[in-house]
Structure 1
Amino acid sequence: MDGIKILGCGHAHLKRKVTNDDFAKILDTSDEWIRTRTGIRTRYRAEQEETSDMALEAAQNALADSGIDPKRIRYFIVATLSPDHVMPSVACSLKDRLELPGNVMSFDVNAACSGFLYSLQIASGLLRENEAALVVGAEKLSKYMDWTDRNTCVLFGDGAGACVVEKRDAPLYRFANTESDLQHSLFVPGMKSHEEREIGYAQMNGREVFRFAIRAMREAIENVLAQAGDTVDDVDLVISHQANIRIIENVARHLHIPMEKMYTNLEEYGNTSAASIAIALACAKEEGVLKRGMNVVITGFGGGFSYGAVYFKW
């Protein structure tokens, strides 16, 4: 079995909260315009913190919450599209700062907003008996924002979340897929020459992403439930990528899932890409929404286009 048990969760706590009213001071927008279209009221922005700093805090909190000896960690995976450097990876940079043992495989995964979800699936395939993995989602998306583009900059926040997982002799139903985004509907251009030192701004075709996201998460949820032979009635909680409340509501409506089963925290955190699901897991656990014995679906989508889901008993 490739089943996993999540032993602990944690997330970083950034100090600077940016409200919709803050954006209204610099853009042709308003709190109502942003809220009605996205469900987002606030988001956090890193100031002095880099992606690795946020990942470190989230990882430390997850390790503390798990209560396990860090020497049990065998795999350390960081999902991010916004690392501090092209090389070394965030995971390699943090391995010694976290005082992990010498025989830890450490690496980053870039699957955009699907990164944490993909990383959980990678960990489930790698883990053996008595081994544990530390899986982090961390993003500093503010460095990719065009602060004059209200269609993108109001959506995204910075942050990090993490989980400690171990192998479990129980089913884990998983699904992942990628559809090439040849039209660059969700795109961050890189440097093209030595003269272009800056990474380009995030670009997004909102309508295309919206349509894809609803279809992709529906497909992913239906796939993992079919594998299990379960229906939506058997699901206790769905934790999805926190991109847009209208996307989440549409997925719930099409699959006949009551919204009370769809956990959301995007109102406070916005879209934190690969950190999104990890932060949501930590917050749901802190709030007592996520309880042992629950049947949980985790699902998401991202640039690429990448998407997937996992279904397991918490």
Structure 2
Amino acid sequence: MSQWALFWLLCTLSTALTVVGGARGEAAEQTHSFDIKFDIKGAPGQRAVQPNAKELLQAEKVLDEVFGREIVKAKSSTEKGKLAKEILEAVRDEQDLAVKFAGLQIARRLAIEALDGKLGLEIVREIVQNFEPAEEIPATDRLTEGDRLWLSAEKAQGRDRLSKQLEAIECWLYSDIKTGLVAKKWELRVQQLQSASALITLDWKNALLRGQHLKYDTRQDSISGWCYPQEYIEWPVDLAARSYDVALLYSSRGNAGGYLMAISLFTTTNYYQPLMTLHTELISTGGWNIYAEKSFGIIKVPRPGRYILRVHAIRRLGPDFEPCLVNVRAVFLR
């Protein structure tokens, strides 16, 4: 073989090897492109690392400029729940990941304060779908922590209970176990959370007025004329056998509202001996047209059925020149 023929053969082999190598590299790159995580809905999605403390601080400043006043103004559970939804929708498509993460955390806190488990669950899913967990631990350890939090929530009440339940469900979602009996157990827990978060509203239009001076006030959308402490308001209500966080939406003026008030639960067969009574102090809201929500605490319903819920006054807390107590717009059970 001549030198020119040998030189040509070597050049041909080198070119072929270059092409094959390039093709293998491209194939390897294409294969690697499928090595990505899947979000909790099953669609491909890349989770981001959670922002560090400095990034989070800057993000919180941005959110404070946009939502700070609304957060301060949101006093009632209804207002906090509405604002949580607004923040959630605002940050869904946010490009700044630190702002998105901080916004989801604020919305989560507001949803818990509003005792809105369904909304809290939606926010937790959004967090898990878009961000890596704070620390990497084995799935079995994460599930163990989730079980611990859930059992701890069973012993808690109100906002503390909901906060721990959401944290437990977050552990399960990050474990990425979607099949089998373990997944079934957690799906049942999610259903339990959703059903327990249903809001029952006893509004003024459906109340039974036990007193000749009480009246339905269409201008105020409430019950007014409560100037005699011996009078009271009742609602018949169907309840499940569980615990309810009970709150009153009311208004008062000046020094009015300086009363120790109570909410009692009765069976339909015994109107004289309550199953349970909650007490709290109601102070002025700043005017008869300014309404505020006040939590009375937790009522435990022993068995499912129809009950009577009564709002009544116990005593005045101090001197007050305002003759009337409060206007009542609604009672909330969560």
Using structure 1 for the length normalisation, give the TM-score: 0.28
Q: Which has the higher helix share?
A: 2
Larger Rg: 2
